[in-house]
Structure 1
Amino acid sequence: MRMDGEHFFLKLLDPSDSEALLQLEVDNREFFQMYSPLRNDEFYTLEGQRERLEVINKMREMGHQYTFGIFLKGSEELIGDVSLFKIERGPAQTGMLGYCLDHHHNGKGYMTKVVKRMITFAFNVKKLHRIEAGVMPQNAGSIKVLEKAGFHREGIAVKSIKINGRWEDHQMLAIINDAE
């Protein structure tokens, strides 16, 4: 599955993307670490990324997670990823949204467009009712991306996720599928 934008395209990640994903993670290690769980050294190896992508594919096969690479058109360079994960069916019909973008491409408007495409995917293709996202309150840029895409703030989840070795609060945002 591929979704095209003006400057980028989204493609479901698979093990063939291991080298590109490793390069993205290594190039952005310090930047991503500010907003990510601590990673062991194995994570930053080709084998570590292959294993990560195998897990992502298994989760997709079960309908629990869809992770897309964000690739620049022309060069086909992997500049980030976006995931719809923790998908819950039954009466909830909900999922979580998460993403990262190479620090050299921040501020270009790509991520707002990516998030809007993922909303369309979640609501129109996966038929979800609600998407949630959690962002550290000091990450104003990410909150702005979500709000521009239509998410609304719901409150603070206190010390909800261990980021960079510390339990961190997260601003919770959500968007509801009003078309159903």
Structure 2
Amino acid sequence: MLRGENIYLRPFKLADAAERLQLQERNRAFFEQFSFERSTDFYTLNKQEELIINNEKYAEQDVSYQFGIFKHSDQLIGTIDLFQIQRGSLQSAFIGYFLDKAQNGKGYTTEAAQLVVNYAFEELHLHRIEAGVMPHNIGSIRVLEKVGFHKEGIAKQSVKINGKWEDHQMLAIINPND
């Protein structure tokens, strides 16, 4: 568990599947503005359970780590991931996150991103973390910049979202201890 001042992060457990589904359903239109296309079964309890089981396997294999973002009241308010982890000469990963629309603007995503960056550098010994954000998603870009990410450029038509290839602002942060 990663503890912050206002939130904590922990890997999902099967017992979280129903609450995770509620978070996704409640924010479906909001999240889908910024994410890849989801299968129709994504919004089922069985699929959420399957994703939790798969995420446990991915963490064991050191290829990705997903955490729930919880308020100290134990309310699930979002998810945050380190994914596409590359070892060897790269020692890198991507970061991605979703926060309940009702919780935006309160600093929770910034706090969660800082906790994950610290975990990635201190525990996983990664050298570099990257993020891709749609250029009009100013709030997400600000979150990353507050944590120390720097802009590197625009990846043209890099991710298909809602049937359209979208540009992404690429940002990265380098482990200061390397």
TM-score band, normalised by shorter chain:
over 0.9
Q: Unaligned stretches of 5+ in structure 1?
A: none
Cα deviation digits, residues 63-115 of structure 1 (max 9, x gap):
001101001112x1110010011000000000000000000000001111111
1:174 aligns with 2:172: yes
TM-score, with length taken from structure 1: 0.96
1:4-153 aligned at under 5 Å gives the runs 4-74=3-73, 76-153=74-151
Q: Identity of paired residues, percent?
A: 49
Q: Unaligned stretches of 5+ in structure 2?
A: none
For residues 168 and 155 of structure 1, the distance between their equivalents in structure 2, rounded to whole angstroms, comes to 14
For residues 14 and 155 of structure 2, the distance between their equivalents in structure 1, rounded to whole angstroms, comes to 34
How much does 1:8 deviate?
1.3
TM-score, with length taken from structure 2: 0.97
Cα deviation digits, residues 131-150 of structure 1 (max 9, x gap):
00000000000000000100
- RMSD over aligned CA atoms reads 0.9
How much does 1:16 deviate?
2.3
For residues 118 and 18 of structure 2, the distance between their equivalents in structure 1, rounded to whole angstroms, comes to 29
Q: Counterpart of 1:28 in structure 2: which amino acid?
A: N
How much does 1:58 deviate?
1.4
* SS at 2:78 equivalent: strand
For residues 115 and 175 of structure 1, the distance between their equivalents in structure 2, rounded to whole angstroms, comes to 11
How much does 1:51 deviate?
1.2
